[in-house]
């Protein structure tokens, strides 16, 4: 009964989504207030029914209802509760439902937090979101119904892929999807603006917090996925340039460009049609990611959930959504114009350069991802593109981006003085050069790549410090330094933290690539391996039983400089329902390094093969991502968004008209404007 309620709820949600698309958009075009007024309640209703459907599916998993085909293929009665819940999105149908749930959640958030937005704009935004929802609900109901029954019911479920039975992976897809789907809001704002023809700074201001929020989720989602691959696949890598990883990385790159471009459109009214294009592209790439993952067009590690039949549907939907948006863009963008001019030496130029580099990087990733397919479709034969290509194109593109990240925030809008920049930033550059010369020696050997990485990281840190110092010293008033620091807006600290996060990330990548040590060895009982200051003694293997698996658990006693340090327990697991062994690496994480042991195969006579890594600074990779995410959160928390929306609301009430852009700017400290150091 419950699954039928779920299915019925989906059908109602579809009907509501159709209403949510048609009436608000047409109403906005015709100025019909009654039709526009439908947008909010209908969108909220859609959320209720999608949430109900999701609850029904979760119920089927938690209660082991294996008469539901999807539950029978992705769950198992022995599965721990956490994984029963995460198994809901462990396969195709459920992850689609999660997608739609998030879409309607974001839409709900728009209806709640955008009360001050003028009615026509809000209607269009909600209408566009409704349209996307229609597509996905149709897709689900026609090709991928999660509530399909299996009669007679299976005695037990086939089980969740053991690779996915992991706390990191339980929350990785929801984070990633929140990010993917979150770009739909920026997309809807862009389309609404194109429809209305009002691509002004107000539009950019409204889009900013939504875009940043989506970007934060995507950042965390990608980082979790990378962390999972690192310890679950058992070979110590953290990024594989797999098509599915690329599918999440492309929207991230474009999303990063979009955040910065929106800032320029918001502050300076320029970059307009470029910003719109980025907003459309970011969401298009999110849809493309869904298509690539779900259609089976590309072979990948994630191939546990593919089906070419469904690919046709997603592709058609993709063609409609992206095709229409880009056609609308081609029609309206020429009238919008780029807006505002600026000198070559200006913050706009720095941001545009960074933007273009990020877009080119996304293009390069797209090319590498689809090249095998294009090559094949052209009848030129089959080939594969591996990490060497991506590594080779990525580094040269990221070096200028990081350079701009140092220069951009400190330069002035419109026109900046190059000599002044040089004077200020020489300290940052100096810090970078000294660090690049010294650090590699401390770490155990100088190499050009390590030096470059250190230079970039310290350049970023240095530029951040210079920026903060400049900002405080040029601030007028006689308050103490702490008072001045406290006066800086949160979004400014957000920028500093996020950019420092990139520096931390770069350091992590540099040191782990430069100095990691790795040993693949055959170990007899009592054998000893030494790596850096650590000695690993192999004390054999014991058998253990988990809730739904059996495992061989290795015992590695680790000592540091002869002192007892820790005991590591890598495992080789066989899950009851499936026969493939799974590697569970054991990791000891310190601040500056990780010790990583993964158990290989028994090689006879009680000896085993094993892999031992010493990975300096590896955790900094994810810590850097965490800081980037934190920076985004700080930026969203800034009070100017709340002030802006309140000011708008008052103005809208007072004049009965849509307010003009730039009201929020009045709340900014005057000194910050004078120094020109402002985001």
Partner 1 sequence: MGRHLRYLLPLVIFGVLAGFFYKGLDLNPTELDSPLIGKAAPSFTLPNLHEPDQSMSPDDLRGQPWLLNVWASWCVSCRQEHPLFMELARRGDVPIYGLNYKDERPDALAWLRQFGDPYSASVSDYEGRVGIDYGVYGVPETYVIDGRGIIRYKHVGPVTPTVLTNEILPMIEELRG
For partner 1, the closer of residues 415 and 522 by Cβ is: 522
Among 4, 376, 524, 532, binds partner 1 (CB under 8 A): 376
Partner residues linked to 572 by β-bridges: 552, 583
Q: What angle do the packed helices 2-30 and 39-62 form, to 10 degrees?
A: 160
If we measure between CA atoms, which residue out of 550, 480, 414, 495 comes closest to residue 679? 495
List CB contacts of 37: < 8 A, sequence separation 6 or more.
119
Q: Which is nearer to partner 1, 315 or 434 (CB)?
A: 315
| Main-chain dihedrals φ then ψ at residue 584, nearest 5 degrees | -120, 100
Show contacts with partner 1 in window 520-559 (CB under 8 A): 520-522
- Residues 466, 428 contacting (CB under 8 angstroms): yes
Q: What is residue 572's three-state secondary structure? A: strand
Write down the least CB distance from residue 307 to partner 1, Å. Answer: 10
Asked if 481 touches partner 1 (CB under 8 A), the answer is no
| Polymer length of the chain | 679
The stretch among 205-213, 305-313, 484-492, 644-652 that binds partner 1 (CB under 8 A) is: 305-313
Q: Does 273 bind partner 1 (CB under 8 A)?
A: yes
Other CB atoms within 10 Å distance of the CB of residue 344 = 9
Nearest 5°: phi and psi at 567?
-120, 130
CA angle at 570 for the pair 569 and 572, rounded to the nearest 5°: 130
Identify the residue among 312, 469, 567, 655 touching partner 1 (CB under 8 A).
312
Radius of gyration of the chain (CA): 27
Stretch that binds partner 1, among 398-406, 479-487, 574-582, 633-641 (CB under 8 A): 574-582
Q: Please give the residues from 95 up to 154 whose contact with partner 1 meets the rule CB under 8 A.
A: none
666 binds partner 1 (CB under 8 A): no
> Which residues 598-657 are close enough to bind partner 1 by CB under 8 A?
598, 600-601, 609-611
Using CA atoms, how far residue 421 sits from 28, 409, 464, 672, in Å, is: 48, 11, 13, 17
Distances (CA, A) of 272 to 261, 279, 412: 8, 11, 19
- Which of 6, 372, 432, 462 lies at the binding interface for partner 1 (CB under 8 A)? 372
Piece of the chain touching partner 1 by CB under 8 A; list 22-30, 78-86, 578-586, 648-656 = 578-586
Q: Does 333 bind partner 1 (CB under 8 A)?
A: yes
* Closer residue to partner 1, CB minimum distance, 93 or 232: 232
**Given the DSSP bridges, would you call strands 563-568 and 581-584 parallel, antiparallel or unpaired?**
unpaired
Binding to partner 1 by residue 330, rule CB under 8 A? Answer: yes
Running DSSP on this structure, what letter comes out for residue 577?
T
CA nearest neighbour of 68 among 162, 138, 157: 157
User: Between the CA of residue 154 and those of 91, 109, 159, what are the distances in Å?
Assistant: 18, 39, 12
Check binding of 471 to partner 1 (CB under 8 A): no
Which residue from 82, 374, 438, 655 is in contact with partner 1, where contact means CB under 8 A? 374
Residues 384-443 that bind partner 1 (CB under 8 A): 384, 386-387
Distance CA 645, CA 595 (A): 50
- CB of 656: closest distance to partner 1 in angstroms? 35
Stretch that binds partner 1, among 435-443, 543-551, 577-585, 615-623 (CB under 8 A): 577-585
Strand partners, 551: 544, 573
Nearest CA to 592 among 533, 538, 536, 520? 533
CA distances from 393 to 241, 366, 386, 388, 574 (A): 12, 12, 12, 9, 40
Q: If binding is defined by CB under 8 A, does position 383 make contact with partner 1?
A: yes
Examine residue 319 and tell whether it contacts partner 1 (CB under 8 A). yes
486 is a site residue for partner 1 (CB under 8 A): no
Judged by CB under 8 A, does residue 227 bind partner 1?
no
Window of 351-359, 453-461, 553-561, 597-605 that interacts with partner 1 by CB under 8 A: 597-605
If DSSP codes are grouped into helix, strand and coil, which group holds residue 347? Answer: helix
Among 55, 138, 326, 665, binds partner 1 (CB under 8 A): 326
Piece in contact with partner 1 (CB under 8 A), picked from 53-61, 253-261, 575-583, 667-675: 575-583
Taking the complex as a whole, the smallest distance from the CB of residue 372 to partner 1 amounts, in Å, to 7
Please give the Cα distance from 334 to 332 (Å, whole number): 6
Which residues fall within 8 angstroms of residue 209, CB to CB, at 6 or more apart?
Answer: 635, 636, 641
**The only residue of 322, 451, 509, 619 in contact with partner 1, by rule CB under 8 A:** 322
239 binds partner 1 (CB under 8 A): no
Question: What part of residues 274-303 is at the interface with partner 1 (CB under 8 A)?
Answer: 277, 280-281, 284, 291, 295-301, 303
Q: Which residues lie near partner 1 (CB under 8 A)?
A: 233, 235, 240, 242, 273, 277, 280-281, 284, 291, 295-301, 303, 308, 311-312, 315, 318-319, 322-323, 326-327, 329-330, 333-334, 370, 372-374, 376-377, 381-384, 386-387, 518, 520-522, 579-581, 598, 600-601, 609-611
């Amino acid at each position: 009964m419950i699954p039928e309620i779920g299915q019925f709820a989906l059908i109602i949600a579809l009907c509501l989504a159709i209403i949510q698309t048609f009436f608000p958009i047409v109403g906005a075009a015709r100025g019909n207030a009654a039709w526009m007024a439908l947008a909010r309640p209908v969108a909220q209703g859609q959320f209720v029914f999608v949430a109900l459907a999701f609850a029904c599916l979760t119920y089927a998993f938690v209660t082991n209802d294996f008469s539901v085909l999807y539950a029978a293929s992705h769950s198992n009665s022995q599965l721990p509760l956490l994984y029963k819940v995460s198994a809901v999105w462990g396969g195709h149908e459920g992850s689609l439902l999660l997608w739609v749930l998030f879409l309607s959640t974001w839409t709900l958030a728009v209806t709640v937090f955008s009360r001050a937005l003028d009615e026509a704009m809000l209607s269009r935004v909600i209408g566009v979101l409704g349209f996307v929802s229609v597509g996905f609900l149709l897709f689900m109901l026609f090709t991928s119904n999660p509530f399909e029954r299996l009669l007679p019911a299976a005695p037990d479920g086939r089980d969740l892929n053991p690779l996915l039975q992991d706390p990191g992976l339980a929350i990785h897809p929801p984070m990633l999807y929140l990010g993917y789907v979150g770009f739909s809001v920026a997309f809807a704002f862009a389309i609404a603006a194109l429809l209305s023809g009002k691509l002004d700074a107000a539009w950019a201001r409204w889009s900013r917090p939504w875009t940043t929020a989506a970007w934060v989720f995507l950042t965390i989602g990608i980082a979790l996925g990378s962390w999972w691959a690192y310890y679950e696949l058992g070979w110590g890598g953290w990024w594989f340039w797999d098509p599915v990883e690329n599918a999440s990385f492309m929207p991230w790159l474009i999303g990063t460009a979009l955040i910065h471009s929106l800032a320029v459109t918001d502050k300076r009214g320029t970059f307009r049609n470029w910003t719109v294009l980025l907003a459309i592209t970011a969401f298009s790439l999110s849809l493309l990611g869904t298509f690539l993952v779900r259609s089976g067009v590309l072979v990948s590690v994630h191939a546990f959930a593919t089906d070419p039949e469904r690919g046709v549907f997603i592709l058609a939907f993709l063609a409609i959504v992206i095709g229409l948006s880009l056609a609308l863009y081609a029609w309206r963008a020429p009238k919008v114009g780029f807006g505002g001019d600026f000198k070559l030496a200006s913050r706009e130029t720095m941001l545009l350069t960074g933007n273009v580099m990020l877009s080119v990087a996304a293009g390069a990733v797209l090319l590498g991802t689809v090249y095998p397919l294009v090559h094949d479709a052209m009848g030129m034969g089959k080939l594969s593109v591996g990490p060497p290509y991506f590594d080779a194109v990525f580094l040269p593109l990221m070096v200028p981006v990081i350079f701009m990240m140092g220069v951009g925030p400190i330069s002035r809008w419109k026109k900046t003085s190059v000599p002044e920049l040089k004077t200020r930033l020489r300290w940052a550059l100096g810090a970078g050069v000294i660090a690049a010369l010294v650090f590699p020696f401390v770490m155990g050997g100088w190499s050009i790549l390590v030096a470059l990485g250190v230079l970039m990281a310290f350049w970023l840190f240095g530029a951040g410090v210079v920026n903060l110092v400049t900002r405080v010293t040029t601030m007028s008033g006689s308050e103490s330094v702490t008072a001045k620091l406290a006066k800086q807006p949160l979004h400014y600290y957000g920028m500093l933290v996020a950019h420092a996060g990139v520096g931390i990330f770069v350091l992590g990548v540099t040191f782990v690539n430069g100095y990691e040590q790795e040993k693949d060895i055959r170990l007899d009982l009592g054998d000893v391996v030494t790596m850096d200051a650590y000695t690993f003694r192999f004390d054999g293997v014991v058998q253990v039983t988990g809730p739904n698996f059996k495992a061989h658990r290795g015992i590695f006693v680790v000592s540091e400089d002869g002192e007892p340090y820790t005991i590591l327990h890598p495992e080789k697991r066989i899950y009851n329902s499936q026969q493939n062994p799974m590697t569970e690496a054991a990791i000891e994480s310190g601040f500056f390094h990780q010790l990583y042991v993964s158990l290989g195969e028994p090689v006879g006579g009680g000896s085993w093969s094993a892999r031992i890594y010493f990975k300096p600074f590896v955790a900094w990779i994810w810590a850097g991502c965490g800081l980037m995410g934190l920076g985004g959160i700080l930026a969203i928390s800034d009070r100017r968004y709340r002030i802006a929306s309140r000011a708008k609301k008052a103005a809208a009430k007072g004049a009965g008209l849509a307010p003009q852009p730039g009201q929020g700017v009045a709340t900014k400290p005057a000194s910050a404007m004078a120094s020109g150091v402002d985001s």
